[in-house]
Chain A
Amino acid sequence: MPQIFHSSANTIAKASIFGVVFLVGAIAWVAGSVQRSPYVTGQGEVRDQPVPFSHEHHVRGLGIDCRYCHTSVESSSFAGLPPTQTCMTCHSQIWTNAQILEPVRQSFATGKPLRWNRVHNLPNFVYFNHSIHIAKGVGCATCHGQVDRMPLMWQHASLQMNWCLQCHRDPEKFLRPRSEVFNMNWQPPTPEHPDVAHGNATSQLELGKYLVKEYGVRKDQITNCSVCHR
C-alpha cells in the first residue's frame, strides 16, 4: 500500500498541536481586547445631542463654573443636568433668534424637558457617588478629561472596574487640593513650583500622600467589593 501521507505530515501534526494552544491564546487575547476596546466601552465616542451644547464655548470661552449648571455635584451622588431655565438665564437675551436654540425655547415654553443623550452610563449594579470624590479632592478632569476642550461631550475614561480600582488602590497618584477640583488646567506641583499650602509637596506623589492624610482617605477600605456593588 502506498503511503497516503507524506512524511511532512508529522511536522504538521506536531505544529497543529502548538497551533491550537496558540489559537486559543489568540482568541482569548482578542476577546479581552474587544472587551476593553473603546468600541465596547464607548470611550472617546462623541454623542450627538438635541442641541449642540458646547462645553468648550461655555466653560473655556465664557469661564462658567461647572456648578452653575451641574448644581448638585458637591452634595449628591448625581451631578445633575441643568434644567432649561438655567440655559434661559442667558439665552433669554443671547442668541435669541438662533435656530439651533429652538429646542431650548420650545422646552421652556412647553415645560417639556430637553432630552440629553447620556454620555456616561454605568451599569445599574454599580454604585457611584460624585459628592465623596469632590470632597476628597478628585478633580472633574481626572475622570472626565479636558471637558473645556470638548465641543460635544464624550466619555474620556473606560469606566471599567479596572479603571476605578487603579485609583482606589493608589489614590495618592491622582488627588489634588479641594480648591482645584473644578479647575480644568490644574498641574501637579514640581520642584520648581512646590505646593506651599500642602506640605511643600514637590510632586504629585508627595502631594497625594499629604492629601490622603489630610482628607482622611480610607485607602484600606475603598477596594472592598461592597463599596461599589451594594
Chain B
Amino acid sequence: MRQGTIVPVDINPTRPLRRRLGGAAVALSLALVMAMAGCRRNPDMAEQPKYQPYQPSEFFADGSSARPIVEGTVSRDEHRVGTLLYTGMIDGKLADVFPFPITAADMRRGQERYNIYCSVCHGRLGDGQGMVVQRGFKQPPSYHEKRLIEAPVGHFYDVITHGYGGMYSYAARINSEDRWRIAAYIRALQLSQNAKTADVPADVLQNMRSNQK
C-alpha cells in the first residue's frame, strides 16, 4: 500500500481541490454546451424574411407567393407578335418555311427537346408509340402518315403552341425558337422513315457501314 502522497492529517486542502476539479469539469462542459448553443445557427439568418421561389404565403388568396402572370402578358423576348417566328403563319395561313435557317446545331437542339417533351407520347421515332401511350394514353397519329408528311411546318409549330385535341399546349415550357427546332427535327424523323440508301451522303454511308461491322 502506498502512502504519503496525500497529507494524512489535514485533508482539507485536497477536498476543495477535488471540488474545484469537479466544479471545473462541470463548468467546462457547461461552457462547451453553451458554446455549441452559441454556434447554433441564428434562425433569422437561415430563414430570412423574404420569399424564396414558390414559398407559400398567407398573404395571397391562392396561398402562393409566386404570382400568376396576368392574362395576355407578352414576354419581352416575344414582343415581336405577328411575325412568322411567333405565329407560325404568313398572311393568316400556316407557313411552310422556317423563320430562320436551320443549322446542324439547331437540329441537335431540336432532337434533344423532342426527346424531352414529345417522345414520352409520340415515341422516339414519331410513330405515336411512346411509353405513356402504352400505359393507356390516347394514341397520337404517327408523323409518318401522309397527312402529316404533307402538312406545312407551321402546323407543327402551331400544335406545340396551342395544343391539339387531347394534347395540351407546350408553350409554357418551350420557347418559340425551340418549337421551330422541334418542327425541323420532326421533318428529319419523317425523312428518316422513308429514306433510301441513295439519300445518304457517301462519307456518312461509309461511316455507318464501318460502324455496323
Contacts of A1-23 to chain B: CB distance below 8 A: 1, 3-5, 7, 9-10, 13, 16-17, 19-20, 23
> Which of A111-119, A167-175, A197-205, A216-224 forms part of the interface with chain B?
A111-119
Given A10, A27, A81, which contacts B2 in the complex, CB threshold below 8 Å?
A10
Are A31 and B52 closer than 8 Å at their CB atoms? Answer: no
Given A24-B28, A71-B173, A124-B45: A5 and B14 interface contact (C-beta under 8 Å) = yes
Residue of A nearest to B31 (CB): A24
Residue in chain A with minimal CB distance to B45:
A125
Q: Could you say which of A24, A85, A94 contacts B32, with CB atoms under 8 Å apart?
A: A24
With A and B bound together, what is the CA distance between A185 and B18 in angstroms? 62
**A65: CB under 8 A from chain B?**
yes
Q: Could you give, for residues 58-72 of chain A, a 1 whenever the CB lies within 8 Å of some chain B CB and a 0 otherwise? A: 000011110110010
Tell whether, in the assembled complex, residue A90 and residue B132 are in contact, meaning their CB atoms are under 8 Å apart: yes
Total A-B residue contacts, Cβ distance less than 8 Å: 106
In the complex, the answer to whether B168 meets A89 with C-beta atoms within 8 Å is yes
Chain A contacts of B14 at CB under 8 A? 5, 9, 13
Instruction: Determine chain B's interface SS by DSSP, over half rule.
Output: loop
Q: Which residues of B contact A23 (CB under 8 A)?
A: 25, 29
User: Is A191 an interface position by the 8 A CB rule?
Assistant: no
Which residues from B are CB-within-8-Å of A88? 168
Minimum distance in angstroms from B28 CB to a CB of chain A: 6
Q: How far is the CA of A65 from the CA of B138 in the complex (A)?
A: 20
A191 to B30, alpha carbons, bound, how many Å? 56
Find residues 30-63 in chain B having any chain A CB closer than 8 Å to their own CB.
32-33, 36, 41, 45-48, 50, 52-54, 56, 62-63
**Chain B interface (Cβ < 8 Å from any Cβ of A):** 1-3, 5-6, 8-9, 11, 14, 17-18, 21-22, 24-25, 28-29, 32-33, 36, 41, 45-48, 50, 52-54, 56, 62-64, 66, 68, 115-117, 120, 131-132, 135-138, 166-168, 172-173
**Closest CB pairs A-B (n = 6):** A123-B46, A124-B48, A65-B116, A20-B25, A78-B53, A89-B168
